[in-house]
Each structure stands twice: as structure tokens, then as C-alpha cells.
Amino acid sequence: MKATIWGCRGSLATPGPATVRYGGNTSCVHVRTASGRTVVLDAGTGARSLGKAILADGVEQLDLFLTHLHLDHVEGLGFFEPLFNPAATVTIHGPRPDEQSLEKWISTYLSPPFFPVPFERVPARIEFIEVWHDRYVVDGLAITAAPVSHPGRTVGYRLEEAGRTLAFVPDNEPGLDPEAALELATGADVLFHDAQYTEEEYATRVGWGHASLPDFARLVRTASPGQVVMFHHDPSHSDEQLEQMERDARGLCVRDDVQLGREGLEIQLA
Ligand SMILES: [Zn+2]
Ligand SMILES: [Zn+2]
């Protein structure tokens, strides 16, 4: 499979001259499986451009995996063109709410007064799969969903196909629960993981749901993934600050291949 980042900013889209190298769009990763299936991880603002590309490729069936419903992970949904293609079938996988349903959550967000078009008039065929701590297979792709350490109902995903594994944990606070996400991340060929805060920043943001660099590094050293991508960049961090954090993370992880997520980054797992 091949993964391409379309958005790796956290919390709020952050366009502008200080973020051109790593990008300002929020969480969205495209995965093309070895069997040719189109998978999308999160629908942050990066989903707008990705949706155009998917439409141009003539893809009419895809799986969208949402980690949670915080706006930075869903605000591209209303601008994701496959939803407005009557020939398309979009299967939305996402966390099972405590009350009501995933469909109710999405339809509330994608309806007035939050969105101009009522959800029932969205033309694509949309199916919902609610997950929590689950393992299942779609067309040869084995999916593990598991709850992570983050406010509200939030999961991470592990995708396995033909002996290759991708773990996607954009929002996770191992400082409050060091075990969270370990099952998803351990031994993955590539891990995309929250690395939002410096140690100093985290001291005043405990409980906000994100990782400090030392906690990120502890998780990486324990899980020992093949490749590591720092994800969910803070809106206040410029390209230069992110590059300093990458140097710090490499030291803390004791490995030189830790890299910052950036829009356009492709990871081929073959
Ligand atoms: Zn987030
Ligand atoms: Zn969140």
C-alpha cells in the first residue's frame, strides 16, 4: 500500500507563509491499497483537494476512516467531492458514540445551521460502520480500531495488508495513558502519531489530548515501528519550529529517521 499526506496540521487549518513547507491543512491521509482500493484517513481540510483527485481518477467506491468528530478531522467532509457524486459509494467508519449513532453525528454536522445542504440531499450513497475496539476485514485489508487517550470518543487505526502495516494515531495523549495506542503502533511498518507539543508547552496543556515530544518518543521506543511520521502539528508552530522539534524528536527517540509529516509526503509500503 501507499500512503500520501494531504493534511497533517492539528486543531485548526493554518495557511500562510510560515507553514508552506509542512502545510496548513488539517488531518487527511490517502491510502491506496495493494488491491487498488481507495482509503481515506480523516476528513480534515486536506480532504477538499484529495476529493478532487479521487474524482479525477474515476474512483467511485471508497472507505473513509474517521478517528473522531473533532472539527479538525471532519471539516473537509462537506467539500469532499465524492460525497456529491451520485455514482459514488462512501463507507464512513468511525467511533461508536455513547448515545445516538455515527450517522446522526455526521448528519447533524452536515446540515443547517452548520452546513448549507441538508444531509439527506447529499447525492452519494453513504454507509456507516461504527467501531470501537474491533478487528475486521474489508476486501483483504485487515483493520484494527482501538480507543486512544483523547477527550471524547476517539480511536486510532491499524491497517494490514499483504504483510504490511500502517498505524494512524493522529490524536493521542500518552502522557495520561502510556499504554494507549501501543497495540496499534507496535511493530507497524509506518506509524503516523501525534507529536504536537514541546515538553515546555505540554506542561500547561495536560488533558488536552495530545503528545509531548518526550511522551511521543517513549511510545516510539516501545512500539519500535519501521518508520515514524510526526503528525498533528500545532497551529502556532512555524516550519522552522517544526524542524527544531524534528531534531529534538530524533534525539529523544534515538533514531535519525523520525520525520515530520508534510503535505505531499508519500510512504510506499511494498
Ligand atoms: Zn485533532
Ligand atoms: Zn481531537
How does pLDDT run across 139-187, given as a tens digit for each residue?
A: 999 999 999 999 999 999 999 999 999 999 999 999 999 999 999 999 9
pLDDT of residue 25: 98
Please tell me whether the overall predicted TM-score, pTM, comes out greater than 0.85 for this model: yes
Ligand 2 center to 71 CA (angstroms): 8
Give distance in angstroms: CA of 45 to centre of ligand 1.
12
Residues with CB under 5 A from ligand 1 (ion): 10, 72, 171
CATH number at residue 198: 3.60.15.10
Radius of gyration of the chain (CA): 17
Report the candidate in 92, 52, 74, 255 with the shortest Cα–Cα distance to residue 152: 74
Q: Is the pLDDT of residue 104 over 90?
A: yes
Tell me the average pLDDT across 87-115. 97
pLDDT per residue over 108-150, tens digit each? Answer: 999 999 999 999 999 999 999 999 999 999 999 999 999 999 9
Using the predicted structure, report yes or no on whether residue 57 has a pLDDT greater than 90: yes
User: Which ligand has the nearest atom to the CA of 194?
Assistant: 1
Distance 77 CA to ligand 2 centre (A): 16
Ligand 2 centre and the CA of 196: distance in Å?
11
The boundaries of the domain holding residue 144 are 2-268
Please give the distance, rounded to the nearest whole angstrom, from the Cα atom of residue 150 to the centre of ligand 2.
Answer: 7
| Number of structural domains found in the chain | 1
